[in-house]
Structure 1
Amino acid sequence: MAWPALALVLIGTLTGCASGLPPGASPQVPELVQQHGGPAATQWPAPRLSPQAHSEAVASLLAQALEADTAVRLALLNSPSLQAQLAALDVSAAQRQQMALLPNPGLGLGRVREGGQTEIERLLRIDLWSLVTLPWRLQWQDRQLAQARLQTAQEVLRLSAEVRRAWVRAVAAQHATRYWLQVQEAAEAGAELGRQMVKAGNWSRLQQAREQSALQDARVQGARARLQAQASREQLIRLLGLNDGLALQLPAQLPAPPSELLPEADYEAQALRERLDVRAAQGEYQAIADSLGYTRVTGYVSAFELGLGYNTITQPGSRDSKRSVEIEVPLPLFDQGQARVARSEAQLRLAQARVREVAVLARSEARGRWQDWQSAWTVSRQLESEVLPLRRQITDETLLRYNGMLSSVWELLAEARQNALSVNAAIEARRDFWLADTDLRLALSGTANTSPASSGNLLRSNAPAASAAPTPGH
């Protein structure tokens, strides 16, 4: 039994090498996300926090008004969707590691008794094909893990961008709600003044109806703002993974846009160079191209098994033994791998088309998001630096003229309504700018705004099997 023992030692050594691969894939994701504009790796929560430590960390982040970066950190810590994504990556890593392991050798035992003669059969079957293809399968596993990390990093960046958008909308809606409440109070004062002046005979019913209409409009706008604020806040709570929003505090208003435009740059080239979906599509194409040679070879040789036998024959007064060696190779008479090669070639063309598709999408999104950023910045700066100062000046002059009895009270109220519209437009413009800023950053260094069709199926369907032929029973 020297040869079977040596074979078992060899298989155990190779299996141990394969088993030494790291089972998890998630530790590399934070660094990958940080390289593409996401939260820093130091801001990611420690893995497997205890329930008490987790609750304390969440309470610490919610102890003060939640800024955009803090909201992203809270989502990394508490979002169920992100935790599920990272857990799925570890599951995928374990599955791919299992695929790279050697199959266990088969040991067959038999006992045949005929008259006074007894024969003991022992057969050790080893899949040598798995030994030959082990390095290639390990390389394939590394490619699949790299693709899985890229896809997970894309999802993290999308979640971070979605949290920022929800935070921007929630803060802007809360600001608008407070402002429309002030407008409603002013409209109520105007309507009360109109009733008093009509009662005194100084106003007409038409003028009073206008003030009543302005009050109702302010109430409708205020109700809409409250509804929008509730919906935006609830969306943010859901993305953060909070059970309720009782402890959630938001800033009074959004930060001001930058004072200057971003410098001109080749944003299309930056998107093609840095976006994760472009890298993932290129990696998939390269992996399938590299697998064509393996697919062609396995059309002719897809299995190679070695069998080592040791039989003992015992009968009264004597004992004999014999050894045997078996080699099993399938004959490629009917299936020479034509279908597998054709499938791999079609998958290669599909991957090549996907690279072009993703590249076109990246260039288009980079151009579009940059134009949106410029337009949103221009509108916001125009409203805040030009329109609002003019409206304040007009309001002040109208108030002076009213105090000097040079204008009527309804002119003052009409000016207040116009000023309210301008302020609300400025709040919305600032909101639109920060939404455009989030979309631009995601489009340049992250991925598409919406999840693309999964491309990992091509790699999985083209993955090599540990053994292409079943082991016959003995």
Structure 2
Amino acid sequence: MHQRLTGVAIAAVFLTGCSTFSKDGGFDSVSSVAAERLHKDAVYVKTDEDRDAVLRRTQELLAAPLGMDDAVQLALLNNRGLQAAYAELGMSEADLVQAGRLPNPGFTFSRTHWSDGFGIGRTLSMSVLGVLTLPAATRIESRRFEETKLETANVMLAVAADARRAYVNAVAAAQAAHYAAQVKDTAQAGAELALRMRQAGNFSKLDYAREQAFYAEAAARLAKARQQALAAREKLTRTLGLWGSATQYTLPERLPDLPKDRPQFAGLESFAIRNRLDIQAAQLRTQSVAASLGLSRATRFVNVLDAGYLNNFESDKGHERGYEISVEIPLFDWGGAKVARAEAIYMQSASRLAQTAIDARSEVRESYAACLTSYDVAKHYRDEVVPLAKSISDDMLLRYNGMLASVFELLADSRDQIAAVNGYIDALKDYWLAQTDLEQSLGGRLPPLAMPLPPGVPAVPAVSARPAPSADPASPPAREPQDSAVPTPPSQATHAHGASSNPEGE
């Protein structure tokens, strides 16, 4: 019996030594995903050295106007919600280490008295079932730890996508607010000119009311645009995890230009199925549940199984040695409920895995179509709507300088430009948001190579106001991009000149 106990003790020491914490705590898999798919650094802040390194990197990024990639990197470094998600790795690894360790033995001591003597009882016991199921429990927790790694990496990718969206919205809102301020200045100059002409008796009451109404509306739109810009910037600040003086970062004046070529990819659904981390995590979850089901069937009749070594002593009998086994008798509970519950959990997990894959395919199709359409709309505004509005504005300005058009005709033309410019800002914003949604639906990145669609695969038709120069929807435009040719309303100086040289508007 002593040899058996010695063997059990040696095995316990060996198995316990195998259950240790890893050096990286599972975070290397998350940082690898960030480097591979985002080309960014993910940092789990645990020590003061880590905080100092993050602070230095943050200050370097904030020294210049933020780009979209800079915003993503800042979010990966400073977002506190993401740091909280990283703690799931530590908890999951702790469960894995705990599952790989033997249960603690139990020791019982008793001392009894009677009329002519006394007795001493000593029992050392250990759960045999816990030892027998140790390898299976370790495998199950190992799968769960791998699942937690994938889920944490997927949370990191979601934070990166949120940072991109918040950045696009913040820059677009600031650009729209800047243009709204120009429109308001133009409307104010027109309203002042109309007032002076009304006082001189050269302007009708109706025309004067129209100019004042346009100015009042422009002032209200400016206030709303500034509030939206403030809200969008604050949302970006929250996503980046910045506070204090770091919130005084500088954003660029406008969004990045459209890519030169229309995005065309093939096999996106299969790429998403292979690449998405939530699908991989669901697969591991299903495997883990299946393993748990097998364990439940193996132990359905044995709920408690303990073995112990006895060493009792009585004063009149001497030492009494032996062993005891304690086991529950499956008289009322045969474990059928445990197995039925495990089977139901497995079917639930398998169905969720299938639904995750179905949702992923649908999200890819939807986001890809949205990306193509938003690209076409933004390109249409850039190459058709905005250039036409600018051409009309230039011609109207020439007519005004040649005294062939009144200042109020020039003002009316500037109002027509508002919809074109705001439409282009919104279209450009929608494209970058759609591209972010597409990347997230594919698992955080686009395919490594852009490939043309194979024959027979329908493409989303491009938006155009004129016949396409070729049958290829991805052919380059006939004119050069004119993102910088956004028309601006006539300045106050132009209106002041019109008021002094031609007060009657003719």
Specify the alignment match of 1:331 in structure 2: 329
Calculate the TM-score normalised by the size of structure 2: 0.81
Specify the alignment match of 1:48 in structure 2: 47
Shift of 1:273: 2.0
Distance change in 2, residues 1:141/1:23 (3 Å): farther
Q: How many Å separate the matches in 2 of 1:74 and 1:233?
A: 14
Shift of 1:169: 0.7
Specify the alignment match of 2:465 in structure 1: none
Specify the alignment match of 1:25 in structure 2: 26
Matched, 1:142 2:106: no
Specify the alignment match of 1:280 in structure 2: 281
Contact 2:44–2:83, Cα closer than 8 Å, also in 1: no
Q: How many Å separate the matches in 1 of 2:339 and 2:214?
A: 74
Deviations 1:3-28 (A, max 9, x none): 44443333232222224666823332
Which shows bigger deviation, 289-298 or 199-208? 199-208
Shift of 1:324: 0.4
Match of 1:364 among 355, 362, 365: 362
Shift of 1:373: 0.6
How large is the Cα RMSD of the aligned pairs?
2.4
Q: How many Å separate the matches in 2 of 1:265 and 1:62?
A: 38
Q: How many residues align?
A: 442
Which shows bigger deviation, 367-376 or 348-357? 348-357
Unaligned 5+ residue runs, structure 1?
A: 448-474
Deviations 1:88-144 (A, max 9, x none): 331232134324322101122233444564543322112222221111111011111
State the secondary structure of the residue aligned to 1:140. helix
Matched, 1:216 2:216: yes
Shift of 1:207: 2.2
Distance change in 2, residues 1:151/1:370 (3 Å): same
Contact 1:39–1:73, Cα closer than 8 Å, also in 2: no
State the secondary structure of the residue aligned to 1:342. helix
Contact 2:273–2:279, Cα closer than 8 Å, also in 1: yes
Contact 1:125–1:306, Cα closer than 8 Å, also in 2: yes
State the secondary structure of the residue aligned to 2:386. helix
Q: How many Å separate the matches in 2 of 1:142 and 1:92?
A: 9
Contact 1:276–1:446, Cα closer than 8 Å, also in 2: no
Calculate the TM-score normalised by the size of structure 1: 0.86
Distance change in 2, residues 1:27/1:423 (3 Å): same
Specify the alignment match of 2:298 in structure 1: 297
Deviations 1:177-211 (A, max 9, x none): 11111111122222222233334444323222222
Which shows bigger deviation, 113-122 or 179-188? 113-122
Q: How many Å separate the matches in 2 of 1:97 and 1:22?
A: 13
Q: How many Å separate the matches in 1 of 2:178 and 2:439?
A: 30
Task: Write the mapping of 1:95-114 to structure 2, written as runs, cut at 5 A.
Answer: 95-114=95-114
Contact 1:65–1:251, Cα closer than 8 Å, also in 2: yes
Task: Write the mapping of 1:220-235 to structure 2, written as runs, cut at 5 A.
Answer: 220-235=220-235
Task: Write the mapping of 1:64-79 to structure 2, written as runs, cut at 5 A.
Answer: 64-79=64-79
Contact 2:78–2:242, Cα closer than 8 Å, also in 1: yes
Specify the alignment match of 1:351 in structure 2: 349
Q: Which amino acid aligns with 2:68?
A: A
Which shows bigger deviation, 271-280 or 323-332? 323-332
Distance change in 2, residues 1:8/1:121 (3 Å): farther
Q: Which amino acid aligns with 1:149?
A: K
Q: Which amino acid aligns with 1:241?
A: G
Shift of 1:150: 1.9
Greater RCO, CA 8 A, separation 6+: 1
Q: Which amino acid aligns with 1:422?
A: A
Specify the alignment match of 2:262 in structure 1: 261
Contact 1:124–1:308, Cα closer than 8 Å, also in 2: yes
Q: How many Å separate the matches in 2 of 1:275 and 1:211?
A: 55
Q: How many Å separate the matches in 2 of 1:311 and 1:202?
A: 120
State the secondary structure of the residue aligned to 1:27. helix
Contact 1:188–1:215, Cα closer than 8 Å, also in 2: yes
Task: Write the mapping of 1:124-203 to structure 2, written as runs, cut at 5 A.
Answer: 124-203=124-203
Shift of 1:401: 1.5
Q: How many Å separate the matches in 2 of 1:312 and 1:241?
A: 68
Specify the alignment match of 1:429 in structure 2: 427
Q: How many Å separate the matches in 2 of 1:27 and 1:63?
A: 29
Unaligned 5+ residue runs, structure 2?
A: 446-506
State the secondary structure of the residue aligned to 1:328. strand
